Structure 1
Amino acid sequence: MNRLLLLLLFLAFSFTFLLAQSDDPLRTKANELARQFIITDGHVDLPYRLRVQNFRLEREYLGIPVETDKGDFDYVRAKAGGLDAPFMSIFIPASREDNGARALADSLIDMVVGITQAHPDKFALANSPAEVEANFKKGIISLPMGMENGSPIERKLENVQYWHDRGIRYITLTHSKDNHICDSSYDTTGTWNGLSPFGQQVVREMNRVGVMVDISHVSDSTFWQVMEMTDVPCIASHSSCRKFTPGFERNMNDDMIRRLADNNGVMQINFGSTFLDGNISKQMDEKRAELTRLLEEKGLSYDDEEAQPVIDKFQEDNEVLMADVKTVADHIDHVVSLVGVNHVGFGSDYDGVGDTLPTGLKDVSQYPNLIYELLQRGYSESDIEKICYKNVWRVWQAVEDAAE
């Protein structure tokens, strides 16, 4: 009887909660704003995910970007979440430095172009804010492109123009290792102590050609040197606040956020839980070390077929609680408290951070949850419009104007 009573109470509470949600005017307003405003996201790793899945532009594969239960992005979910202009990441692993980087980048760009050609009623390329706005009026999702890792420049300054001509509108100068342009936040080598001499030329050429400089992934010394020499605003396409992840150089500290704002730039918040909460990152590191020891005791490596059941069981028994949508809003709050609402946006890293996405932001259908959280915290519609796209538009247009 007690169990039945508890079940009935639980069902009554759930119904009341769902009814309250449906009647919540802020929830309704969040859904409306997600469709009223353009939503841009600085970093979605769809192209590389599809490449890993051996994507081919043949008939049986054309449905992959439209509707799928794989990954974090497809057309149906993007439409549900109000996402209008996800920057497709042309991701080049650090291992491709001097190892076919340009060919890989070309193939990923070809893939994005192919998606728009296969589904012209759903997707279109976009090389400027004006083109995104024109697509938005038609109800079409724009696929602007940014290159994650400048390795495909391949020590040839003229390649900056080449990539611009191919549709690249920002370049993340490096990724997880120092490259021929600059040092990485993940690398301890300090090859250049910031920008290489060639990297300095690359920054100037990006300014000249009209490609946004993305300082996500770079070392602190690289960041400060870029700020000193760039003539136009820069972006951090998918970075979060180091205040919440002490010692994690991949994120930006308060002085860097202030300097980026002085440059009139924008910081686009990464949704990965390890970027949002240092305690989660620590727990995951500890669990990873524990799993490694367990495999070693069994004489196994991660790549062994026999290891997979052990890995699955360990993960099932050692689940780490991820961040949630409120944590993402905390990072937005922190940027706003430091430099104001004009210098923050969304840079989810969807399809790039695996299963570490926060509760309430598990895929591209859930941007209204973040807008709802911001409304609850007192952000105005004008503030939210800036965060959704206008801040990024300001930088993108400034870079375009300077090049012209």
Structure 2
Amino acid sequence: MRLSLLAACLSLAFTCHAQAPQAAQRLAKQAIIVDTHIDAPTRLLEHWADLDRAQPDREFDYAKARRGGLDVAFMSIYTSPAQDADGSAWQVANTMIDAVQALVQRHPDQFALLTSPRDAARLRQGGRVLLPLGMENGAPLGDDLGNVKFFFDRGVRYITLAHSAANRIADSSYAADKTWNGLSPFGRQVVAEMNRLGMMVDVSHLGDASALEAIQLSKVPVIASHSAFRHFTPGFERNISDEIAKAVAARGGVIQVPFGTGFISPDAAADMQAFFRARQAFNQHNAELQAQGKPPLDRAAFDRDWAPKHPPRTSTLAQVLDQIDYGVKLVGIDHIGIGSDFDGVDGELAEGLTSAADYPNLVAGLQARGYADADIRKILGGNLLRVWGEIEAGAGH
């Protein structure tokens, strides 16, 4: 395909559904692609599927990963604020880790667990897709600092300190009212212990004050595992501000750009912010009703009422490329990567980036915008592997 035609397809956000040019497919296969956020474990617990083969209802499986050139897929060990509140987060996290281990044990020729970037080249031999673990929400730690090492020993290599509500560690970006206005005393201990072990501190999802304190406190670089830039979604604290992005980069870290519509579309981001705040207000009202001995309102009814008033939005590959362009100009080519959120956003993804088979489309878009192949390799995974190695090397200091 001539470059002019490719550019036309990109401007239409791949509505023409063109296959990526051979040059893009070739680079996607040759480069090491690292995606720091894939929610396959949540889907495995909802309904098991052997991901060694194509699964039409999954955005990540072995067939799609190999077609797209994906080499390192961080499996998200996600627990919700509700599971934190009812005390089940520890059990859910361990069950998810068991599920990933079972997947690897059932299909050792297709998958391997990855706990150090030093092992990536060896374990990739034979075409395996490598599965490191990232914990989304520090809730499973409870209030026991020893659980940081417990989960490190189970293979977890980053922790997103909080998710959509404040926990014992930090504030969430979604809540208007902050609990800690930074890290909690326990949260400071958690960051220090993660540094000691060589575990990546992830500031995605955090309120600004919590993110800044984590960055300042950490003795090694930190990451944002799946954060778009707030420049495009003003007022949406879930996306990373210029100030925080510069702070991450100044310490040598990396910002991983997601593909989810809710992060890259201004309208969808506004809807998401409104949803989380409305749901928190609903939960607070229910707590007050229960304290008064009154029956709670129906949570399912809240969700049913919300959905028709806020229909799904759409987003484009061009918007993801705009995010990357902005990040590179803001903090430099050495501090940008990718964290798709596949299997985690109910299919609401940028057109042209809807599964693990589609990384060549991203490569084609970057090539069309003039990025050198060496710089594309950095964005696809080189930057994250470098940062992970630096964090690992800093362990024990």
Q: TM-score range by the shorter chain?
A: 0.7 to 0.9
Q: Which residue of 2 aligns with 1:76?
A: 63
Q: Which residue of 1 aligns with 2:352?
A: 360
How far 1:18 sits from its partner (Å)? 12
Q: Could you tell me which runs of 5 or more consecutive residues in structure 1 were left unpaired when the two chains were aligned.
A: 1-13, 56-60, 289-300
How far 1:20 sits from its partner (Å)? 12
- Within the candidate set 157, 164, 169, 1:181 is matched to 169
Alignment-mate amino acid for residue 22 of structure 2: T
Q: Which residue of 1 aligns with 2:29?
A: 35
Farther off after superposition, 351-360 or 113-122: 351-360
1:210-221 matches, cutoff 5 A:
210-221=198-209
User: Quick check: 1:333 aligned with 2:320?
Assistant: no
Q: Which residue of 2 aligns with 1:385?
A: 377
How far 1:65 sits from its partner (Å)? 4.9
Q: TM-score, normalised by structure 1?
A: 0.84
User: Quick check: 1:201 aligned with 2:189?
Assistant: yes
Aligned residues: 362
Q: Which residue of 1 aligns with 2:91?
A: 103
SS in 2 for 1:403: coil
Farther off after superposition, 232-241 or 126-135: 126-135
- Within the candidate set 42, 61, 66, 2:53 is matched to 66
Contact 2:52 2:107 in 1 (8 A): no
Alignment-mate amino acid for residue 371 of structure 1: V
User: Sequence identity, in percent?
Assistant: 42
- Within the candidate set 327, 332, 340, 1:348 is matched to 340
- Within the candidate set 391, 394, 397, 1:399 is matched to 391
Runs of 4+ in 1 over 3 A off after TM superposition: 17-22, 280-288, 301-304, 318-321
Contact 1:178 1:189 in 2 (8 A): no
- Within the candidate set 16, 40, 43, 1:46 is matched to 40
Q: Which residue of 1 aligns with 2:294?
A: none
Alignment-mate amino acid for residue 192 of structure 1: W
Alignment-mate amino acid for residue 195 of structure 2: N
Deviations for 1:91-125, whole angstroms, at most 9, x for unmatched residues? 01111225122111111101000000000010000
Instruction: Provide the rounded CA distance (Å) in 2 between the counterparts of 1:52 and 1:193.
Output: 35
Distance change >3 Å, CA 284–CA 87, structure 1 → 2: closer
Distance change >3 Å, CA 151–CA 280, structure 1 → 2: closer
Instruction: Provide the rounded CA distance (Å) in 1 between the counterparts of 2:315 and 2:259.
Output: 9
Deviations for 1:144-191, whole angstroms, at most 9, x for unmatched residues? 000001111111111111111100000000111100011111122311
Instruction: Provide the rounded CA distance (Å) in 1 between the counterparts of 2:228 and 2:140.
Output: 26
Instruction: Provide the rounded CA distance (Å) in 2 between the counterparts of 1:356 and 1:140.
Output: 28
Q: Which residue of 1 aligns with 2:160?
A: 172
User: Quick check: 1:157 aligned with 2:145?
Assistant: yes
Q: Which residue of 1 aligns with 2:288?
A: none
Contact 1:37 1:385 in 2 (8 A): yes
Q: Which residue of 2 aligns with 1:131?
A: 119
Distance change >3 Å, CA 287–CA 109, structure 1 → 2: closer
Distance change >3 Å, CA 18–CA 195, structure 1 → 2: closer
Please identify the structure whose Cα radius of gyration is greater.
1
How far 1:141 sits from its partner (Å)? 0.5
Structure number with higher relative contact order (C-alpha < 8 Å, ≥ 6 residues apart)? 2
How far 1:34 sits from its partner (Å)? 0.7
Instruction: Provide the rounded CA distance (Å) in 1 between the counterparts of 2:167 and 2:15.
Output: 51
Distance change >3 Å, CA 254–CA 19, structure 1 → 2: closer
Distance change >3 Å, CA 319–CA 221, structure 1 → 2: closer
SS in 2 for 1:84: strand
Q: Which residue of 1 aligns with 2:79?
A: 92
